[in-house]
């Protein structure tokens, strides 16, 4: 709705100002110029922009006329930017996971909820373990594979789109299964944890680091934060 209101305001201001200066509306109607300028702009965009970004751009434009930003929009934006999502606790958590899960060359690990692959990349680089990362968002998995290629880790890391609540891996396929904050964004924690246990081999290790409150914040504070985030996303 705000987009439509903004469009009306801009159009009204431009045309109103033009008419106030004595202009004639008919002068602005130049189909040939629209074709030249619009075609040049769209063509330049297609030439200079990767197909993945063009697809995401189209989705963002069409989504702008919907009900507003969603959780998937946020995730798509992170994937497009290749943004690094550190696990809860940051780099000390990376070191703790590497140590406590006994990651080393020859270990086959699964990273459930990989985002763009920061945690997987750090663990593979530090330990030499072989890691498969999954994320329900295909753009995240693609961004993870791009990161692995750029960092020279293709031989150790592979990412693919999968729902951690219903994985296609065999029972006991991994020595280690780990996750770093992803469960906070999953509906159906029980199914996700059950699946992580299923694909971990007997006597394997499961590492899960999650976000939590030291003390439950007041309801009014949560409402205020939620309201401010909603306004920021809609801006």
For domain 91-209, which architecture applies? 3-Layer(aba) Sandwich (3.40)
Which of left, alpha, beta for 102 (phi over 0: left; psi -120 to 50: alpha)?
Answer: left
Q: Give CA separation, 141 vs 12, 83, 101, 135, in Å.
A: 44, 13, 23, 6
Give the tens place of pLDDT for each residue, 1-57.
566 788 788 888 888 887 888 878 777 778 888 888 988 998 898 898 888 788 878
To the question of pTM greater than 0.85 for the whole model, the response is no
Indicate the angle between helix axes 51-63 and 31-48, nearest 10 degrees: 130
Three-state DSSP class for 131? strand
Q: What is the CA radius of gyration of the chain?
A: 24
* pLDDT greater at residue 150 or residue 184: 150
Which has more confidence, 149 or 6? 149
Mean of pLDDT over the chain: 85
Nearest to 138 by CA among 117, 157, 160, 167: 160
Percent of the chain with pLDDT over 70: 88
Whether the predicted pLDDT of 230 surpasses 80: no
CB distance 142 to 52 below 8 Å: yes
pLDDT tens, residue by residue, 115-135: 888 999 999 999 999 999 999
């Amino acid at each position: 709705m705000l987009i439509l209101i903004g469009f009306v305001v801009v159009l009204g201001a431009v045309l109103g100002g033009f008419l106030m200066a004595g202009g004639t509306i008919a002068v602005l109607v130049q189909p040939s110029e629209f074709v030249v300028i619009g075609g040049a702009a769209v063509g330049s965009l297609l030439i200079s922009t990767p197909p993945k970004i063009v697809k995401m751009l189209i989705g963002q434009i069409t989504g702008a006329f919907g009900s507003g930003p969603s959780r998937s929009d946020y995730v798509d934006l992170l994937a497009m930017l290749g943004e690094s999502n550190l696990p809860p606790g940051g780099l000390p958590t990376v070191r703790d996971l590497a140590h406590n899960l006994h990651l080393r060359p020859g270990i086959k690990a699964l990273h459930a909820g990989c985002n763009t692959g920061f945690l997987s990349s750090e663990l593979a680089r530090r330990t030499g373990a072989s890691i498969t990362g999954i994320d329900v968002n295909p753009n995240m998995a693609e961004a993870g594979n791009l990161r692995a290629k750029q960092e020279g880790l293709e031989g150790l890391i592979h990412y693919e789109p999968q729902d951690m609540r219903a994985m296609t891996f065999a029972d006991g396929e991994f020595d280690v299964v780990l996750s770093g904050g992803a469960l906070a964004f999953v509906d159906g924690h029980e199914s996700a944890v059950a699946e992580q246990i299923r694909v971990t081999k007997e006597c394997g290790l499961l590492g899960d680091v999650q976000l939590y409150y030291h003390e439950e914040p007041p309801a009014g504070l949560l409402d205020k934060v939620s309201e401010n985030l909603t306004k920021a996303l809609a801006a």
